[in-house]
Amino acid sequence: VVTPPSPEGVNPLVLAAAKVSGADRLFRIGGAQGIAALAYGTDTIPKVEVIVGPGNIYVAAAKKLLFGEVRVEGIAGPSEIMILSDGSTSPRHVAADLLSQAEHDEEAWAVLVSTDEEFAHEVEEEMAKLLTSSPRKGIIERSLEQHGLIILVRDIGEGMEVANRFAPEHLELAVEDPFALLAEVRAAGAVFLGGNSPEALGDYIAGPNHILPTGGAARSFSPLGVEVFCKRTSFIAYTASALREVAPQVIRLAEAEGLFAHAEAVRVRLEGGEDEGGEGKEKD
């Protein structure tokens, strides 16, 4: 684990989480320099094969530059929430959820997509009320100034089109029947269904991993999972009879591609007799 230290040292909550998760080493370093240290190794930090986890814009840039040198789960940028609403849920709840993402940082996105203009105005009013008492008011205000949006749509179908094109990190379906829309979701990092499933649950306790694709990456990337730490290797073994059966097709394809040595590598085995070495014993 690498984590940026504060003037007081490493956050004890991070230390506890690392211990619970089974980490055996923790390094006090962060930012792009931490990513570089993991990718190439230093005198004190070992080179690794996989780097995962969110960070600021510099961490995202470093992971993008080092993609291929090491495996990364994706390039996570500023946090995003999009709430699709038909006006059937509480405007105060929707407002609170929008602010919960806007407080992450000044580059965070908070977007409401609604079929109900009056409801959208009510959400705006509730956001203003909640903002007055927020300890992170300054960050939220700057976030909303840059990336706060309310999009009015004709119907929920059009709203789903907007959501799929945006491909948000977090998508809340704050509609009367959220489960009816599941088949329409094509691009989102995590989907929260109904009025009792705020995005904050996903951050802390819901269960699925909450390192999610951002910046439209949900169109082609998935949330972090165990598969990121796995890889596959292909194993191929043909008997002499199996080789003879497919040899004409291999030779034809290789020659069509202009790779004549490929074709010859198969042909010499047909002309030179069977090579039974290394085939092992057949099992019943």
Catalytic positions: 169-170
CA distance 108 to 203: 15
Q: Which residues of 55-81 are buried (b: 16+ CB within 10 A; e: fewer)?
A: bbeebbebbeebeeebebbbbbbbbbb
Q: Which of 56, 76, 51 is nearest to 66 (CA)?
A: 51
| Cβ-based burial of 8 (10 A; exposed 0-12, middle 13-18, buried ≥19) | exposed
Q: Which of 19, 63, 231 is nearest to 1 (CA)?
A: 19
CA distance 250 to 239: 15
Beta bridge partners of 173: 84, 193
Q: Which of 178, 202, 181, 201 is nearest to 190 (CA)?
A: 202
